Homo-oligomer: A and B are copies of this chain.
Amino acid sequence: MSKTFEKLQPLLDKSMAFQTARSLFEWDDQTTAPFEAAEYTAKVVGIISDEYMKSMINDDVRKLLKKLQDDKEQEELTDTEKAIVKELSKAYEQLESIPPEEYRAFSELTSVSSRKWSKAKKDNCFEDFAPYLKKIIDFKKKFAGYRVKGDKKPYEVLLGDYEECFMIKELDAFFDLVKAEIVPLLKEVAKKAETIDKSYNYLNYDIEKQKEFSKYLAGYVGFDFNRGVIAESAHPFTLQLHNHDVRITNRFIENNLESAMFSIIHESGHAMYEMNIDDAITQTLVGGGASMGMHESQSRFFENIIGRSNEFWAPIYDKLVNTYPENLSNITLDHFIKGINKAAPNLIRTEADELSYCIHVIIRYEIEKMIFNDEVTVDELPKVWNQKYQEYMGITPSTDTEGILQDTHWSWGEFGYFPSYAIGTAVASQIFACMQEKMPIDDYLKVGNLTPIREYLRDNIHKFGAVRNTNEILKQVCGEEFKADYYVKYLKEKYKKLYDL
């Protein structure tokens, strides 16, 4: 180990400890803490967050980082150490460029604005949220301006925070292809989908049985209960303290069978990624998944590509029917598979089917690009939003609550985040295509043996954490960088077969 890096290690450990504590408070807040705790606990979390910032950004770390960025020092570093230095450089670039008082003002703004958004959504009143959104956008433009370099656009600075391999050029090409191929396909599918009777999904499903079956599904896809726990929260999420403590939540809706089942498979996909990260890099700056997009690729690989396939359900569908014979005994596996893949234009991203999902993302991407190119004002956003839904989906939201106000992300200042959902989905298809060349996935699924699939992902993707970026991983696994064609091909083949088109 390089002497300089050796000096850096305990400083990074300290900051990891504060970050882990913050994560635990976050988990606790979402799953356990009593109603009245928030105000007093906020004081604690505020102090720990300050300490976290101080432990990351300070003269000692700065000096060591400067030294480690030097070419000669770099030669002494292992690949992992290099990746850690790179991550740390990114954090410095991101945090140091912003004057602390502006950062604080922004943090205060978002802690208010997220509540304002929540109320505005409830009241269906975009005007109440608009002034806050304006301020957030002004801050984000300013912050991006501080960091913009070379011929990069401000919006690309934000995109890069979530997925460094995908700038406007790559995303435009990706989304143009999707628009050209998937928008017409969705319309074709929608017509046929009307004939699928999915009323069985909205019958009464006992919550206790749902919990039990969800837990079974998590274990079935490979969630390791020795390294993880499942709890309940208002919205399902995954959170890790380290690779031996990865937690997921689920929520249960009595009149919706699919909701909890596919949420648990989705979160298990995220969780297995974190559980499989190598012991040697957990609790370091590269000890999490490679990027938002890569993470989403793993959750969607399990949720959609594997989890909505006939082969996945073939060995376990009987168990599901036997859990709810009163509702499912007349529903054949074939009918069920059509049901879980029923697709149609729709307004709400989080409830979207696999086929239309990407279109929701494209609409947000196009609007964010317009915002950061100064091509639209905040007040015009609802109109633009509705026009785009009409153009791509053929439907228009009747309220802003089911339109521009539906997502929380912007209220936190998270611009540039949405594309990673689409990237993840597309990356999953590309990985799936490469894996099919290497192993008989369908045959494994049919006999309920997911181990080879999991092990392949572990050994080729998961264990590296964030040492490699998305394109480096894809190059290693598939022999080529990201290519959107796989995604389009996957969707077309799947849906044409399912719907006899």
Flag whether A241 is at the interface (Cβ < 8 A): yes
In contact, A44 and B16 (Cβ under 8 angstroms): yes
A-B contact pairs, 12 of them (CB 8 A): A13-B43, A17-B43, A17-B44, A32-B231, A33-B245, A37-B227, A40-B243, A40-B282, A41-B241, A41-B244, A44-B241, A44-B283
Given contacts A24-B28, A25-B24, A282-B40, contact A14 B51 (CB under 8 A): yes
A242 vs B33: C-alpha distance when bound (angstroms) = 12
- What 0/1 readout, one digit per residue, does chain A (1-41) give for beta carbons within 8 Å of chain B? 00000000000011011101100110010001111110111
Q: Say yes or no: is A229 at the interface (Cβ < 8 Å to chain B).
A: yes
Encode A34-76 as 1/0 by CB contact (under 8 A) with B. Answer: 1111011101100110010000000000000000000000000
Q: How often does this chain occur in the complex, in copies?
A: 2
A45 to chain B, nearest CB (A): 8
Known A32-B229, A40-B282, A229-B34: A17·B48 in contact at CB below 8 Å: yes
Question: Across the interface, which residues of B come within 8 angstroms of A39, CB to CB?
Answer: 244
- Distance between A187 CB and nearest chain B CB, rounded to angstroms: 46
Q: Which of B17, B41, B245 makes the CB contact (< 8 A) with A34?
A: B245
Could you tell me the distance in whole angstroms from the C-beta of A48 to the nearest C-beta in chain B?
5
Q: What residue in chain B is nearest A279 (Cβ atoms)? A: B40
Instruction: Bin the interface of chain A by size.
Output: 35 or more
Question: Do residues B226 and A40 form an inter-chain contact, with CB atoms below 8 A?
Answer: no
Cβ contacts under 8 Å, A242 to chain B = 37, 40-41, 44
Residues of B within 8 A of A21 (CB): 21, 24-25, 44, 48
A351 to B39, CA, bound (A): 39
Indicate if the CB atoms of A40 and B229 lie closer than 8 Å. no
Interface flag for A228 (CB, 8 Å): yes
Instruction: Please tell me if A225 contacts chain B, counting CB pairs below 8 Å.
Output: yes
Q: Chain A contact residues: over half helix, strand or loop, or mixed?
A: helix
Give the chain B neighbours of A25 by CB distance below 8 A: 21, 24
B28, B47, B283: the one within 8 Å of A43 (CB): B283
Among A458-485, those with CB < 8 Å from B are none
Residues of A within 8 A of B (CB): 13-14, 16-18, 20-21, 24-25, 28, 32-37, 39-41, 43-44, 47-48, 51, 225-229, 231, 241-246, 282-283
| Residues of chain B within 8 A of A20, CB atoms compared | 41, 44
Q: Is the CB of B244 within 8 A of A37?
A: yes
Question: Which residues of chain B are near A44, meaning CB under 8 Å?
Answer: 16-17, 20-21, 241-242, 283
The 10 closest A-B pairs by CB, nearest first: A37-B245, A17-B47, A40-B242, A21-B21, A36-B244, A20-B44, A17-B44, A35-B226, A36-B226, A40-B244
Complex: chain B residue closest to A21, CB-CB: B21
In the assembly, what is the distance between CA of A20 and CA of B226, in Å?
A: 26
Specify the chain B residue showing the minimal Cβ separation from A242: B40
In the complex, chain B residues whose CB is within 8 Å of the CB of A244: 34, 36-37, 39-41
Kindly provide the distance from the CB of A212 to the nearest chain B CB, expressed in whole angstroms.
14
Q: A33, A39, A44, A226 — which one has the most chain B CB atoms within 10 A of its CB?
A: A44
Indicate which residue in B28, B36, B228, B245 contacts A227 across the interface (CB closer than 8 Å).
Answer: B36
Q: A84 CA to B371 CA in the complex, in Å?
A: 53
Write out the residue numbers on chain B whose beta carbons fall within 8 Å of the beta carbon of A231: 32
Given A34-B225, A34-B226, A14 and B245 contact (CB-CB distance below 8 Å): no
Residue in chain B with minimal CB distance to A245: B37
Let me know if B245 and A47 touch, CB within 8 A. no
Please give, as numbers and ranges, the residues of chain B lying within 8 Å of A37 by CB-CB distance: 227, 241-242, 244-245
From A13, A34, A241, name the one whose CB has the most chain B CB atoms within 10 angstroms: A34
CB-CB nearest in chain B for A25: B24
Shortest CB distance A120–B (Å): 26
A228 touches B34 (CB 8 A): yes
